[in-house]
Amino acid sequence: MKRLFFLDFVLLLGLILLILVLELPSVVESGSHDYQDALTKSILFFEGQRSGRLPQDQRLNWRADSGLGDGSANGVDLTGGYYDAGDNVKFGFPMAFTTTMLAWSLIEFGDLMPPSELRNALVATRWATDYLLKTISQPNRIFVQVGDPIKDHNCWERPEDMDTVRTVYTVDAPNPASDVAGETAAALSASSMAFRSSDPGYAETLLRTAIRVFEYADNYRGAYSDNADVKDGACPFYCDFDGYQASHLPITCTFLHTFESLCFDELLWGAAWLRRASQNDSYLSYIQNNGKTLGADDNINEFGWDNKHAGLNVLVSKEYLEGSIYSLESYKVSADSFMCTLIPESSSSHIEYTPGGLIYKPGGSNMQHVTSIAFLLLVYANYLSRTSQTVNCGSIRVGAASLHQQAKKQVDYILGDNPMGMSYMVGYGDKYPQRIHHRGSSIPSIKDHPQFIACKEGAVYVNSSNPNPNTLVGAVVGGPGEDDVYEDDRADFRKSEPTTYINAPLVGVLAYFVANPNLNP
């Protein structure tokens, strides 16, 4: 009798264990993450992307000076700024967007950062704003890019060895550059707010310059990539496709008149940032009066370097929520409808998720969408909770806590809670990408190997199956495919290339989770 009972007990125990095992989620949960470590690294990454003369306190010390002659052929100093990804070109459009997002991270979440990281984030922002100021130092002219991207991409060279032609791409009035100039106005306005307490004089310079570059953007309306002198440089890399991925037809402003309003999202975006930074009513009127003609109501659920709609709606909603300015209600309606696409319980059509739960949009460099959407979720949640408001998703109302949860799922996926059980941030956790598509990281450092490595001599490094010799700490790669699979293949740039605009919004997201690591589900 006793023995039988014991056997039953063992069987029952086995059954319970089996159920427990079957119930285990397929995603590896590693418990709480070290958000502070991730925050530190996400900012450190920007040091690896630096162009120009590096300072004494450079921490990623496998890098050295580069691009010291940038602009000299045109008699202008265009040294500094960031290489935007794994190549050695300085594209003004995504660099300005990166700057806006670093500054927005500081504005919303800077007070949650440890003081040392707040300082590092300001330094990272200033590395970009100092450069952006150079690009608009001459009246009625904007230097939109440095470096011939075709020649650059045909080489696999360290930035320190770079000997490809550093063409300066310039737009002069009356040629339009509403996208680059509008984004530059946004970047400088947002940065002026970020620097207001630590360096008021610099903040004033940024704001004054933003006002001027916005006038350029607004006076000569159109896309910079439609300019014949610039097209070959910007396209197909950073043409303003405005949400249309490279796999789609490149619809630029002039090709399709019906899409004209799509080209001007940076005008509203720049004006919205100028309004927030200056509190000047003329920019409020601009947003109120031009919203319709410039496409604010189009309900385009995109946010990235080439499309500002969802970010614009969130940004302007703050003013509607806090100031009760009724004429801005459509921005809140659009922001709500964007948030509803991210809430599984809502009845609206949803954004695509991988089986492992990652936001997924086709076209490569998917993590840029993940980090920028996670950022908007947190910012909107803050605006809503401060004003005791909710998201209206038709049949249901969604509160700030739910938006926080959605953002946390995305950042935890990036840091390792995913089917591959790996971190997509280089240098964070035990398992992370080893073969990122990045010239500087994959070629021996100039410090270890001072001999020049020419354009085609880099082929042995790009083709090698070895891990990269230099750890680009904090770099977040394009990330896994629709199936959550990541091969860690250097040649697959859509997955293995980091970019500055993946990291910039993540800085703010991580700061939020440093302060709020344990959200209740």
Catalytic residues: 437, 488, 497
User: Residues with Cβ < 8 Å from 338, sequence gap 6 or more?
Assistant: 299, 301, 310, 313, 314, 376
Q: With contacts defined by CB under 6 A, how many residues of the chain interact with ligand NAG?
A: 7
| Contact map string, positions 143 to 182, toward ligand NAG, x by CB under 6 A | -------------x--------------------------
The Cα–Cα gap between 505 and 105 comes to 6
What residues numbered 254-283 form the site for ligand NAG, per CB under 6 A?
A: 280, 282
286 counts as binding ligand NAG under rule CB under 6 A: no
Contact positions with ligand NAG (CB under 6 A) in 37-96:
none
Place of tokens 């319709």: 292
The torsion region of residue 242 among left (phi > 0), alpha (psi -120 to 50) and beta comes to left
Q: Which is nearer to ligand NAG, 284 or 422 (CB)?
A: 284
List the x/- string, 473-502, binding to ligand NAG by CB under 6 A. ------------------------------
Verify cis geometry, omega within 30 degrees of 0, for the bond prior to 236. Answer: yes
Choose one: 252-260, 288-296, 376-384, 459-467; the region binding ligand NAG (CB under 6 A).
459-467
Specify whether the CB–CB gap between 45 and 473 falls below 8 A. Answer: yes
Q: Is 515 helix (H, G, I), strand (E, B) or coil?
A: helix
Contact status: 454 vs ligand NAG (CB under 6 A): no
Backbone phi, psi, residue 64, to 5°: -140, -175
> What sign does the CA torsion over 343, 346, 349, 353 have?
positive
Out of 463, 483, 485, 517, the residue judged to bind ligand NAG by CB under 6 A: 463
Q: Which stretch binds ligand NAG (CB under 6 A): 25-33, 256-264, 457-465, 509-517?
A: 457-465
Per CB under 6 A, the segment of 93-101, 114-122, 243-251, 455-463 that binds ligand NAG is 455-463
Residues 6+ apart with CB under 8 A from 126: 191, 195, 202
Q: Least distance (Å) from ligand NAG to the CB of residue 196?
A: 16
Query: With respect to ligand NAG, which residue has the nearer C-beta, 387 or 463?
Result: 463
Minimal distance, residue 285 CB to ligand NAG, in Å: 10
Tell me the three state secondary structure of residue 63. coil
- Type of residue at 351: I
Token pair in block for residue 90: 């300085």
Nearer to ligand NAG, 280 or 471 (CB): 280
Return the SS3 of 156: coil
Q: Which is nearer to ligand NAG, 332 or 490 (CB)?
A: 490
**114-143 positions binding ligand NAG, by CB under 6 A:** none
Q: Are 204 and 192 in contact (CB under 8 A)?
A: yes
| Residue 32 or 463 having the CB closest to ligand NAG | 463
Q: For residues 79 and 108, is the Cβ–Cβ distance under 8 A?
A: no
Of the pair 420, 462, the CB lying nearest ligand NAG is at 462
Of the listed pieces 289-297, 325-333, 398-406, 456-464, which binds ligand NAG according to CB under 6 A? Answer: 456-464
- The nearest distance, CB 195 to ligand NAG, in angstroms, is 19
Backbone angles phi, psi at 139, to 5 degrees: -60, 140
Q: How far is the CB of 283 from ligand NAG (least distance, A)?
A: 7
Is 42 within 8 Å of 51 (Cβ atoms)? no
Work out how close the CB of 108 gets to ligand NAG at its nearest, in angstroms, rounded to a whole number. 25
By the rule CB under 6 A, 462 interacts with ligand NAG: yes
DSSP-derived 3-state class of residue 472: coil
Nearest-angstrom CA–CA distance, 66 and 49: 11
Q: Which two tokens stand for residue 468?
A: 């990269």
3-state secondary structure of 465: coil
299 lines the binding site for ligand NAG (CB under 6 A): no
459 touches ligand NAG by CB under 6 A:
yes
Q: Residue 398 pairs with which residues in a beta bridge?
A: 391
Question: Judged by CB under 6 A, which of 28, 64, 211, 396 binds ligand NAG?
Answer: 211
Is residue 464 involved in binding ligand NAG (CB under 6 A)?
Answer: no
Which residues make up the interface to ligand NAG (CB under 6 A)?
156, 211, 280, 282, 459, 462-463
